[in-house]
Each structure stands twice: as structure tokens, then as C-alpha cells.
Amino acid sequence: MPDSDNVHVLRPAARPTTGEATSPAQGSQAQGPQTQGSQTQGSQTLGPQPQGQQPTSPASGKATGEPVAGAETRPVGPSRTYEALARAQADFPQSELVHFGADKPLTLDAGVTLSPFQIAYQTYGKLNADKSNAILICHALSGDQHAANVHPVTGKTGWWETLIGPGKPIDTNRFFVIASNVLGGCLGTTGPSSINPKTGFPYGLDLPVVTIRDMVRAQAMLIDHLGIDRLLAVVGGSMGGMQVLQWAVSYPERVFAAMPMAAAARHSAQNIAFHEVGRQAVMADPDWRGGRYLLEGTSPRSGLAVARMAAHITYMSDSSLHRKFGRRLQDRDGRTFSFDADFQVESYLRHQGEAFVDRFDANSYLYVTRAMDYFDLAADYGGVLANAFKDTRTRFCLVSFTSDWLFPTADSRAVVHALNAAGASVSFAEIESDKGHDAFLLDEPELTAITRGFLDSAARAVGVA
Amino acid sequence: MSPRDLLIQDLTMKEAARAASGKRVDLLIIADLVEPGSRVLDVGSGDGELLELLATTRGCDARGIEISRAGVNAGVARGLAIIQGDADIDLADYPDDSFDYVILSQTLQATRRPKWVLEQMLRVGRRVVVSIPNFGFWRMRLDLLLNGRMPSTENLPYSWYDTPNIHFCTIRDFVALVEEVGARIESATALNGYGQKVRLNLPWAVWNLLGEQAVFLLSRGR
């Protein structure tokens, strides 16, 4: 539940000084040799930026891997401190990192190539000898690669620890689980807050607009890099589910089993509309500075917070909001006859907005929502979705939730119909839940059982112990 | 076997509707009708008992449609390919000839449009297997005759007002429907009240009396 002294979202918080930045939990643990190397190079790139003013400056302290006092606990201080920590992740993620140089450009749907670029990823479990036990996790709009480990910025547990872990349905004792940050993201994979090597400054809006298919192309290069021919499964919810579907269409021979949850084969007009509201909120913030806020030392915090608040409503259901908050007042006996957050639901949303701004880049929000808007699997197949899945041998399991009005059951059913028409092996279950779209991230016993059953069956078929 | 014999056996063989394996006898009979290695769609697959039987004992590529959420979720959790859907609507989405067999086990009487469902099955599958509870079974007739109440049995325990079985028929009614949709009966088996095959080559009228349920293998055209 949110704190009572909620931050006033529409007023930018004071900027922290560099000295307040502390390393997050795991600060000196997750650094692989690749990461170290990149940081050295990255620090040079950062050279032209004025030290002590750029939010990325804490990275220079972290690059050496020096233990910082208080590294074990979540740092306290103004929100901008977290924001600075998050920004540092864009170029120096506390994750495994793979660079693709000039010899491996990424061709984008926009008709241009991106090179060089990098992908930040986490892995859990061990790849077996015949490399048949790899499962790729695709994250949603506001997610990242920290699916099953403590988040380096927020200090919270991984976003999908309900499903991923030892003995869990995505069993890290059996499977080699890979989770990567999407292209356009802000936690280490190249995105608008990454340094553009041509200029030495963050890309901002100079980064080409990317699509779900571009994200998947980049992931395929990561899977190549890991030496894996075929993934046992690709699993993800919401935008992650879009990526799962795109994987199955783009690389059918590389996906044995696909599990898109709470997803759709195309983004609906209503969902594009919601995204546009969010983007307009960001762009209407004077601190957005035409996307150049990183260069100008500002941050469109209120705009991004409003975008997140609006979006967060769409992730829940009316009944879950009612159950959680009803019309209850926030730590007060009566109405204040002001525009303060009288209601708990207001306070909660403000908290959600504020917390999101601490860890997410505003331009990334524009890019990633745009990628979802552009998603329409059937478009390349004459509008006939079944043709996208022609001759597929991938086995599918789709899941939807009764109270999800953002990606309603009908969207999943449309994919099921197309898969049936293509003669694919497909399971589909609608799970009763009042938790709305976010249900796929929550502890839902039926989701757990279905995920376990589907992946166990796939593992049996492939011969994974 | 006389009705009296059947009544005597009834006292000692209450559990005979299930074979020693614990499987429903009608499912074992259905599985026997399916060629190994076939592509099979089970319409109304419940929690996947028949799908599992077909996959494990016949090596079939077996898929299911089931309307109940609990059934689907249980089956998918067992690793079976089951779609939540309504046979009355969703059969239309399957292409022609997409399966070697389409099976409807003890479900026809629960569909809203039995004739349409049967036609769709014959379109989607090269062969169709249908098992039906026989409302012409002698005990049903006796129940109605003597008690004047709608019959309910161990296999069909519902009251008339809350039964999902809205389109009951007898064996003879079903044979008439098969003729009407222009299908051919490849084989038919009636099971008595204990799930045993009524083995004698008897006329329909006798099967209609002695069979508590019947399993038909159908194909298109005559």
C-alpha cells in the first residue's frame, strides 16, 4: 500500500547530488567479465558529459565495482537517486551483456540498420549438454530481464518469481532460463537512453522506432550467441506474449513450445488509444524537451507518472480496484474539499506512477508502447492470421483471464482459431480471476498448474530430464 | 439375457461400468475403433481421459475441445492439448478433413444443435465416432412407465430441470439422424447396463431395448 505522504506527482522532485547515489543491492555481484569490459569502454564514451550533473554519473562509481556503504539495503533518499541508478543500467546493466558490433548489424522493420547494439540478459539454471532445455522469457511493457532475481534498482524480487525458480513450473533445476531486456528498453539493451556511439550522447529520439519483430530478431541473435538452435519454450505475457507469437511465426523451427499469456495477435484500437494517451502525457511534460531531457538534465517525471497511472488502471479490473480500495479514504476521516489524494485509489495510483518513474525511461516508454501498437501478425500474411502459422510444428498453449479487458479472451481465442485452421497443436485455457490483465504476473494456482503441465509435457517430448 | 437376469446382476455388479483399468468402458471401445497414430479431435473431452488413453495406448495426435473451464484446465495441466470452446459454435472454425477421427463421447445429447454438430464433425473428420446414452433402454422405459417420473440413472443422475442433457435420443432416433445427414454407419456397438457389449447380431429394436449406451463409427456418404 502507498505511503500516506504521497509524492505530489505533478511537481518535479528536487534533483539529487551525485554523492547521494548508492549502489543497489547486488551491486558488486552480478558483474560478469563482459560487463566489466563494456563499462571501461562506456566510461570513456561518457567522457564529454559534465560529471556531477548527468544522472548517469553514479555509473562511474559503479564501474569500478567498488563496494559502497549500504549496498545491501535499498538506498534511501530522493526519488531522483533511484532514477539515476536506473539510468546507469541503460549502458552498464548489472546483467550479462552481449555486444553486436559492426559485423552483426540488426536490420529493423523501419528499413534501417542498428549497429552496434547490445543486449542485457539474465540466465537461471544450466544449459544441458545437447542444449535442449533452454526457455526464453519475454517481458511485458514495463518489465525487464530481472525476472527471477532481485532487481538492481528497486531491490524487489523478480517480476515472475511466481513461475520461475527451483521446483517452480519454469523449473530452474531442469531448465536453462533466459530473460533479456527488449530492444528499446532501458535496462541495458540498446534503447533511447543508451549512448549513441556516433555522438557520445544518449540516442533520445534518434533511435529508430522498433517493432516487436525487431525485438525478436535481436533476441534470436542472443540465442545464436548462446549457441542454442532450438528453444524448448518461449514464454511471456502481454507484450511478452506478442513476442512469443512473433517467435513462433518468425522462427517456427526454433520454437518447440510457445506459451503466450494474456496476449493478442494484434494491438486493438482501444489499446493503441490508451498508449497514445500515455505518450501524449510524456510529451506534454515541459521537461521532456522534445525527447532531449537526458542531454538537458531534466526529466519528464510528471508526464511519465501520469502515463503510468492511466496505464495501470487498464491492468486491473473494476472489481479488483473495488476490492482493494472501494471508496475508502486515505488516512483521513473525511473529505478535504481539495485535490489532494483523498481516496486510497488515488494515493495508490500516484504511488504507482512515482515508483515507475524511478526505474523507467520516458523515451523507452514511447518506443516500447509504439512497438506494441505496430504489432499485427496477420498483416504480413494478407490479413489471414492462419497463414502466419502455416505448417507450424510448434505446440502452443494460450492462456487468458476472465477479467482482463485489455487483452480479453476473445483476442486469445482469435489466435486459437487461426492455429486450429493451421492444424497446429494448441491448448487454450481461460482462467477465472478478478485481477484483470496483471493476473499473469500474480499467484494464480490454475496458471501455475497449466504452465507446469504444458512445459513438463514439452520437456518429456524433447527428452529433457 | 432377460431383463430379470439383468436386474439380478445389478445387485452384484454396480461398479461394472468401469473396467478393471479404471477407464470408462465406452472410452476403451472408442479407443479400439481408432487406428493407431491417427489425428483425433475429441469434442467434449472433459478432463482428457480419452485423449490420454489415445495418446498413450494408440500413439495418436489427440486434441480436445471442452466447454467447462475446470475440465480444460485440469487437462492442460496434464499436458494435453485441449481448447476451451463450445462444440455448438467452435467446430465451424476447423478446416475440412483436418482430423482422421472426430469423437463425440456422451455429449451429443448436451449440444444445442445435435444435427449441426454431427454435420460439422463429418466435415472436419474423415470418420466420426459418437457414443450416446440410449433413452430407449428398457430401464428408462420401465422407470417412466411405473413411476411416471423422468428417468434418472447412475450414468444420468440429473433432475429434468437442471440436466445439461437437453437433447436425449434413443438408438433408433440416432440411426434416423445418421440417415438424415447422409452418413454411413461403419460399425455400431451397444453396451448393456454394466458396460458389457451386447454381442448378438440383433435388430435395432432389440439393441434399443437392451443397450444403455451405444457407440457408432460413421463415415461420410453412403
Range of the domain at B67: 3-220
Q: Give this complex's ipTM.
A: 0.78
Per-residue pLDDT averaged across A230-258, rounded? 98
Give the model confidence (pLDDT) of A344-378 as tens digits.
999 999 999 999 999 999 999 999 999 999 999 99
Residue B212 has pLDDT above 90, yes or no: no
Lowest mean pLDDT among A264-273, A436-445, B106-115: B106-115
- Torsion angle of alpha carbons A192, A198, A199, A200, nearest 10°? 80
pLDDT band at A71 (very low <50, low <70, confident <90, very high): very low
pLDDT of residue B73: 85
pLDDT band at B22 (very low <50, low <70, confident <90, very high): low
- For residue B98, which residues of chain A lie inside 8 Å, CB to CB? 420, 423
B81 touches A at CB < 8 Å: yes
Residue A202 has pLDDT above 90, yes or no: yes
Residue A409 has pLDDT above 70, yes or no: yes
pLDDT band at B207 (very low <50, low <70, confident <90, very high): confident
- For residue A428, which residues of chain B lie inside 8 Å, CB to CB? 72, 82-85
- Asked whether residue A132 is assigned to any structural domain, the reply reads no
Residue A13 has pLDDT above 70, yes or no: no
Highest mean pLDDT among A11-25, A84-98, A433-447: A433-447
Q: Which of B63, B73, B79 sits opposite A429 (nearest CB)?
A: B73
Cβ distance of A426 and B81 shorter than 8 Å = yes
Query: Which residue is associated with the grid cell 505446440?
Result: A395
Contact (CB, 8 A) for A397 and A404:
no
Q: How many domains does chain B have?
A: 1
- For residue A417, which residues of chain B lie inside 8 Å, CB to CB? 90, 93
pLDDT band at B2 (very low <50, low <70, confident <90, very high): very low
Strands B213-220 and B125-133, by their bridges, are antiparallel
Q: What CATH number does residue B50 fall under? A: 3.40.50.150
CA distance A252 to chain B (A): 18
CA distance A215 to chain B (A): 29
Longest pairwise C-alpha distance within chain B: 49
Strands A96-100 and A425-431, by their bridges, are unpaired
Is residue A437 part of the annotated active site? The answer reads yes
Cβ distance of B79 and A456 shorter than 8 Å = yes
Per-residue pLDDT averaged across A131-141, rounded? 98
Angle at A300 between CA A294 and CA A304, to 5 degrees: 125
Is residue A404 part of the annotated active site? The answer reads yes
pLDDT band at B199 (very low <50, low <70, confident <90, very high): low
Is residue A312 part of the annotated active site? The answer reads no
In this structure, how many other beta carbons lie within 10 angstroms of the beta carbon of residue A332?
A: 12
pLDDT of residue A40: 34
- Torsion angle of alpha carbons A429, A430, A432, A433, nearest 10°? 110
Per-residue pLDDT averaged across A110-135, rounded? 97
Which residue in A146, A404, A411, A412 is the catalytic one? A404
- In whole angstroms, give the CA distance from residue B108 to residue B87: 10
Range of the domain at A316: 270-374
Residue A305 has pLDDT above 80, yes or no: yes
The rounded percent of chain A whose pLDDT value lies above 70 is 83
pLDDT of residue A80: 66
pLDDT band at A88 (very low <50, low <70, confident <90, very high): confident
Query: Please, which residues bridge with residue B88 across strands?
Result: none
Cβ distance of B76 and A397 shorter than 8 Å = yes
A428 touches B at CB < 8 Å: yes
What DSSP assignment string belongs to A300-368? -HHHHHHHHHHHHHHHS-HHHHHHHTTT-BSSSSS--SSSS--BHHHHHHHHHHHHHHHH--HHHHHHH
CB pairs under 8 A between A and B: 66
A427 touches B at CB < 8 Å: yes
Lowest mean pLDDT among A40-49, B119-128, B145-154: A40-49
Instruction: Take residue A320 and report the three cell numbers written for it.
Output: 479488483
Q: Which of A395, A429, A456 sits opposite B72 (nearest CB)?
A: A429
Lowest mean pLDDT among A134-138, A290-294, B32-36, B189-193: B189-193
pLDDT of residue A435: 95
Cβ distance of B73 and A431 shorter than 8 Å = yes
- In whole angstroms, give the CA distance from residue A383 to residue A377: 8
A359 touches B at CB < 8 Å: no
In this structure, how many other beta carbons lie within 10 angstroms of the beta carbon of residue A174?
A: 20
Give the model confidence (pLDDT) of B154-167 as tens digits.
667 788 888 888 88
Q: What CATH number does residue A337 fall under? A: 1.10.1740.110
Contact (CB, 8 A) for B167 and B109:
yes
Cβ distance of B77 and A453 shorter than 8 Å = yes
Residues of B (91-130) whose Cβ lies below 8 Å from A: 93-95, 98
Residue that wins the pLDDT comparison between A48 and B16:
B16
Tally the residues of chain A. 465
Contacts of A187 (CB under 8 A, 6+ apart): A86, A89, A90, A93, A95, A120, A144, A145, A146, A181
pLDDT of residue B143: 83
Give the model confidence (pLDDT) of A157-180 as tens digits.
999 999 999 999 999 999 999 999
pLDDT of residue B23: 64
Q: How many domains does chain A have?
A: 1
- Asked whether residue A348 is assigned to any structural domain, the reply reads yes
- For residue B77, which residues of chain A lie inside 8 Å, CB to CB? 446, 449-450, 452-453
Residue that wins the pLDDT comparison between A207 and B141:
A207
pLDDT of residue A411: 97
Q: Which of B77, B93, B94 sits opposite A450 (nearest CB)?
A: B77
The rounded percent of chain A whose pLDDT value lies above 90 is 80
Residue that wins the pLDDT comparison between B154 and A425:
A425
- For residue A449, which residues of chain B lie inside 8 Å, CB to CB? 73, 77
pLDDT band at B5 (very low <50, low <70, confident <90, very high): very low
pLDDT, chain A, mean? 86
Strands B61-66 and B125-133, by their bridges, are unpaired
Question: How many angstroms separate the Cα of A319 from the Cα of each of A328, A344, A396?
Answer: 14, 15, 30
CA distance A448 to chain B (A): 9
- In whole angstroms, give the CA distance from residue B28 to residue B25: 5
